[in-house]
Structures are given as structure tokens and as C-alpha cells.
Structure 1
Amino acid sequence: MHETQARRGVRRGAAVLLAMVLALSLGWQRTWADEGRQLIPVGKAVGIKLFADGVLVVSVSPVQGTEETRSPAKECGLKEGDILLTFNGEKIRSTEHLQAMLAENGETAAELTVQRDGKTLEVTASPVVCEDGGIRLGAWIRDSMAGVGTLTYYDPATGSYGALGHGITDVDTAELMPLASGSIMETMVKAVKKGQRGDPGELKGDFTVQRDVGTVTVNSNEGIFGTVEDAGFISGEAVSVAEPEEVHAGEASILCTISGSDTRAYEVEILRVNPRSRDGRDLLLRVTDPELLETTGGIVQGMSGSPILQDGRLVGAVTHVLVANPAEGYGIFLENMLTTAG
């Protein structure tokens, strides 16, 4: 009698525990909007600096100025888009660091650790000596990038931010820049190259003498993310985040900076919602604001990350411009940015 009741008690306890686990699991799947997260839509242009984890191979080519024209990089199997991580077991910190190690190594065969498509491999390269005495691999490499983008949101509760709505890719390889460190800086928009059909426009910013205001810790397909260390340049009220199913075709607005540090709202129209896109093209939108059309022609490079608002809520960020029609472009759901931000 007592044993049977005990067993039933265990089964009831297990059922209660299972229900609790399921409830917790479902709770974790709730969206940021369900939790009522309040974020400040920013829309300010910022300077962005990224430093690579290792160095990125932009291209491989024969080394000029040698008795025998050859490319050690090509011979050992290096390809465009590869990331060079170590040289003879030592971590590569920059292009200058690799050049210094090459000079010390000379023509001796060197072991390279390479990252390709998420996998790590080892190759052996035999550098060549040029007529000027320099040691070369026959690979063009890059270790950093800088440019202008737009801050999408700031979370006053955590100090975190999201920007761009898409990743920062190398201009030659179209690969995501492998991130070691990065920063965002205050910037002033000095000029605008107006977009035209077949010729995307561009915001031109001056951030060379400005101060860092935050770090970049993630470079992903859904944007860059990090922490704001000095929130003094951020203003505005926090608003709720819309769930994707709440976003609809119709009137909306974007926040962006197209002159100096003046951030303003401009009218746009959401033409189509693509809830299953997942490639930064969740929304198709058209700029309808006469002033913005007159100044920029629509969406230009540097406006990526401009927050999109509809019905008083933050719904997404501008990501792409249609080259054939700069008045139109795409946007990403903010929820997709927040999911990547974690």
C-alpha cells in the first residue's frame, strides 16, 4: 500500500518536473517582443573599424622581380578567402607582423595554419626572394577594414547595440571579415554621393579624429554587435520591438543621418513582407520622403542599419539598396538581429 503510493508520488513528481522543463523550454523560445524589451532606435551614422583574427587572403599571384616567376601561395594551395592564422606556430597579428616573420624566415619552407570554410588545415610554403631583397609569398592580404554605417538600436538595460543589419565583408572576396577586435566611433557626415539608377550612392563620413564610443564583438550576417562604452551621444526614447507577424505593408519611417550629426525621421513605405527570407531581405521598402529623395536619391551606402519604425514600434533595419532603383531597398526584421545578438 505505502510502496504503491510512493511510486505514484514519484510519477506525479516526474510529471510536474517535465511540465516545468517544458514551460522553461517554451519560455526560452519567446521572442524579445513577447518579453516587452524596450530599445532605443538610434539612426546615427558611426565610423566602424574592424581588425581581423589573422590575415585574410585577398588574392594569390606570381611574385614579380624574381629570376623565376612563381607564386609560393598558389603552389601550397592557398586560395582567395583563406584566413592565415599562424606562421611557424606563431599567431599572426597583422600584415606587418607576417612580413616581419617572413623577413626573419627567409627562403626556408614555412608552416602555415589556414582557416577555410570553417575548417583548419596546415600547408607548407616556400617563400621567394625578390630583387629588392624582400621575402614574398605571392599573396595579397588584408588585416583591417574601416567605413561608415548606421547604429540601429541601443539597449539601455545592458549597454549593448546592433548596427548595419548585415555583416562586414571583404570587398574583394565577399567573405565575412574574421573579427579579432573592433570599435565604433562618433562621426560626422560630411558629404553625400547621390544614388542613381545603376550607381549606388554613399554617405561620406569623417571619423579619423573622433573618439571611440564602443566595441565590436560580433560580425555576422545579421549585423555587427557590441557594447556602447559612452552613451552620451545617444538620444531618444525606448520603444517596443514588433514581432515579424505584426509588420505589414504600408506607411513606416526610418531614422538616419545624412548631414553632420543631425538624425531625423524620413517617410518610407513597406511594399512587401517576406517572413521566411532570413537573408537580410525580410522587408521590401520604398523611400517616399521628398527631402530624402532629393538629397540621397533614396537609400545609399552608409545608411545600412537605419532603424525602421511602424505603428510606434521598432520593426527592423535597412540592409540593401536596389542598384536598379535606389529609391527602393531591403530590410531585416529586428527580431532576427536580436536572435543573433543573443
Structure 2
Amino acid sequence: MKKIKKILSVALTGAVLLGFSQITAVSESEIQSVYLGGQPFGVKFYNNGLVIINLESYYDGNRYICPAKEGGLKVNDIIKEVNGEAISTNEALQDAAVNSNGGILTLKIEREGKEQTKNITPQKNTAGMYLIGAWVRDSCAGIGTITYYDTDNNYFAALGHGICDNDTSLLLPLGSGEAVYANINGVTKSSFGKAGSLNGYFTDSTIGYLTKNSDVGVYGTISDNFSNKETRIQIADNSDIKTGNAKLYTTIDGGEPQYYSIEITRIVNLDSNSNENFVIKITDEKLLNYCGGIVQGMSGSPIIQNDKLVGAVTHVFLNNTSEGYGVTAQNMVTNYDE
């Protein structure tokens, strides 16, 4: 029976009303070394455009209408322009509708990677306000975990999966974003059917600025204040990953990252676009007792086996919160280079 899973996305806020492909192995001499992450971080993420998360009809006094739907808009469309002007905030779209006086709004949208133009005619509601009947999201914020720092190429990698919209699961288009260190001040434990979470707050210390949001991680530049003194660790080739004992390096309180025992129980696939490459099981009693297994905010936590960075945790299984998926570190590195 297929396991129920939950992606460990950062908590999203800001809504108005968040095949198999072959991997080419690299030689030992080409394997790079990086600094381990394990630190919690806060992300402030701003979309490149407005993501439609819901279309809702409203009553105009005679009937229920939805101009956005009637004009051909769909959930997960990304609104890029209104009447030739770039748009980036929920408020700007609302103002455009309110001030249209019922005139046509020409919207440039992106749908499944292709640009289209749609004409929408706002209609009044019973209060006399012009609306289009679309809920949109322009930004999100939350907490995750840094996977590694590559100082040679001046970037960090985190999460092990992309930042997706909570309502539609769309990979959010990155406009801009900042990553800052975060402090963990509590944990909501995971339990059967429910993923817990790391609870904390952002600090004023900047890690860097986001440059890419992808299916296998988020990436950003490293700020000038980076001063990690940990020993470098090699990135494992995908072929190095084996079932058996491993370690999770993560932060579950206000202190420093710690190692916790886990087991890699199954290699699922090595698809470079997947963040479900292998299955892990938490075996550390402290982590099980304190967190109930894997919790949200832990995504991106480095996984080490045989003194190499093999990947990062990405998901929790809701029917057994001691288990979840991991993405390979090589896939994260390869994705950054693409």
C-alpha cells in the first residue's frame, strides 16, 4: 500500500481573503567538498507575478458570477502583467479591478511555462465594488534547514525540495527572496496522520539571497558574514548510497546542530528531478521522543553516510512519522549547475 506523505515545505502565508533518468557518475577526483549545513533558516519569498490559488464566484445582485473564470483564467496561472504593467502584489491587482470601472483588463499570464493573454472584465458585487473573483498569492515565509554551503562557488543549498504553494502545490516562481538564520524555540511533535513542526523566529543575520527555486532544493548566494569553521565533507556520488546506518544532522532546539542516528531503508530511484530518491527511518530515541520523528522545518537537514554527504530529508510519511523520503546531494549539486 502506498504510504501517505507530506512535503516539508516552509509554512506559506500571504494569501489575500504559500520516468527514471540515468545519472552519469562522476569520478572521485571530480567530487567536490562542501560545508555541512544543519542550521535552521528563515526565508522571505516573493513571487515573480501573482499565483492564482482559487477562483470564486460572487453574487452581483442577480446571479453568481466569476469574471476571472469566464475570461479563461485557471488555478495555478501566474499573472505577470495587467494592461502592460508588471504586477507583483495582491493589492495592485485589487486596485486594478476596483479602478477599472468595468473596463477590460488585459492580463499577461504564464500557464505551464507558456505566456498567454487573457481579457477580464471586472463586475460589481452587491456592495458596488468591481471584482474579478480570483484569490492570488504574492509571497510566503517560513522556516527550513540549510543542507550545505559551497564556498568555492559562493552558494548555499537548502530544503531538498522547492517552495510550493500550500493550496495548489505549484512550484512558486521566484521573484526575489532573502534567507536569514532562525532560532528554534519549540517543537510540535509529529503523530500518526499529522506532521509536527519546528517552531521559531527569524534573526537579523543574513545568510544570502535566493537565486533559484527548484524541485530538489532552493539555492542562494552566501553573504559576506559567512564564517562556518566546520571541516569540509565530500558530496557522495549517487552510486555510493547504500541501505544501512546513516546520520541526520539537524537542529531541534536553540543550540547547535547535532547528529542523530537513522537508517536508509530503501533506494527508490535516482531521478535527477525527484526529491524522493531514498527512504529513511529515524532510529535515534532522543529524536523520536522529542519530535515524534520527522517534522516540518527539518526538510533540508543533511544526511551523512560513510563520512560523505549523501542527501537531505524532504518528506515525512504521515502513517509512520519516523520514516520519510530523502533527496540525494548529487542531485542537488547537479540541479544547481543546470
What residue number does 1:157 align with? 152
Q: Structure 1 residue 88 and structure 2 residue 83: aligned?
A: yes
Which of 215, 238, 242 does residue 244 from structure 1 map onto?
A: 238
SS of corresponding position for 2:331: helix
Is 2:92 the counterpart of 1:97?
A: yes
Aligned CA-pair RMSD:
1.8
Q: Does 1:126 align with 2:118?
A: no
Query: Can you give the 5+ residue segments of structure 2 that lack an aligned partner in the other structure?
Result: 1-23
Question: Aligned partners of 2:144, 2:329: CA distance in 1, in Å?
Answer: 16
Matched position secondary structure for 2:64: coil
Q: Quick one: which amino acid aligns to residue 74 of structure 1?
A: K
297, 302, 305: which one pairs with 1:307? Answer: 302
**DSSP 3-state at the match of 1:258:** coil
Report the CA distance between 1:233 and its aligned residue: 6.2
CA contact (8 A) 1:32 1:338 kept: no
Shift of 1:197: 1.4
Q: Is 1:73 matched up with 2:68? A: yes
| Residue 280, structure 1, aligned to residue 286, structure 2 | no
SS in 2 for 1:304: coil
- 2:290 and 2:134 mapped to 1: Cα distance? 41
TM-superposition CA deviations, 1:150-185 (whole Å, max 9, x none) = 000001212201001111110111100111111111
1:256-275 matches, cutoff 5 A: 256-275=250-269
- The structure number with the bigger radius of gyration is 1
Task: Give the alignment partner of residue 168 of structure 1, picking from 151, 159, 163.
Answer: 163
SS of the residue 2:165 aligns to: coil
| Aligned 1:190-269 pairs, distance under 5 A | 190-207=185-202, 210-232=204-226, 234-269=228-263
- Aligned partner (choices 171, 176, 183) of residue 188 of structure 1: 183
Q: 1:294: which partner in 2?
A: 289
Letter in 2 for 1:283: F
Partner of 2:333: 338
Greater shift, 153-162 or 63-72, is seen at 63-72
Q: Which residue of 2 aligns with 1:41?
A: 36
CA distance 1:304–1:74, change in 2 (3 Å): same
How far did residue 212 of structure 1 move? 3.0
Cα gap change, 1:32/1:225 in structure 2, threshold over 3 Å: closer, same or farther?
Answer: farther
State how far apart, in whole Å, the 2-side matches of 1:249 and 1:169 are: 29
SS in 1 for 2:58: coil
Helix, strand or coil: the match of 1:210? strand
Question: What is the 5 A alignment of 1:53-68?
Answer: 53-64=48-59, 66-68=61-63
Partner SS for 1:237: coil
Q: Is the 8 A contact 1:176 1:220 kept in 2?
A: yes
Q: How many residues align?
A: 313
- 8 Å contact from structure 1 (residues 255, 264) kept in 2: yes
Deviates more, 1:209-218 or 1:327-336: 209-218
Verify the 8 A CA contact 1:317 1:334 in the aligned structure 2: yes
Contact preservation (8 Å) 1:33, 1:241: no
Residues in 1 aligned to 2:239 and 2:221: alpha-carbon distance in whole angstroms: 29
Q: Decide whether the 8 Å contact of 1:284 with 1:330 is kept in 2.
A: yes
Cα distance change on mapping 1:65 and 1:198 into 2, 3 Å: same
* Structure 1 residues 231 and 155, CA gap change in structure 2 (3 angstroms): farther
Higher helix share: 1
Residue identity opposite 2:261 in structure 1:
E
Shift of 1:120: 1.1
For 1:33 and 1:294, locate their aligned partners in 2 and report how far apart those are by CA, in whole Å.
39
Task: Provide TM-score, normalisation by structure 2.
Answer: 0.88
Q: Whose relative contact order is higher, 1 or 2, with alpha carbons under 8 Å and at least 6 apart? A: 2
**Counterparts in 2 of 1:131 and 1:212: CA distance versus 1, 3 Å:** farther
In the alignment, the residues of structure 2 paired with residue 43 and residue 235 of structure 1 have an alpha-carbon distance, to the nearest angstrom, of 14
CA separation in 2, counterparts of 1:235 and 1:125? 56
Does the CA-based 8 Å contact 1:33-1:242 persist in structure 2? Answer: no
Q: Does structure 1 conserve the Cα–Cα contact (< 8 Å) formed by 2:233 and 2:309?
A: yes
8 Å Cα contact 1:103-1:134 kept in structure 2: yes
Shift of 1:99: 2.0
| 1:34 shift after superposition | 4.1
Q: Is the 8 A contact 1:31 1:335 kept in 2?
A: no
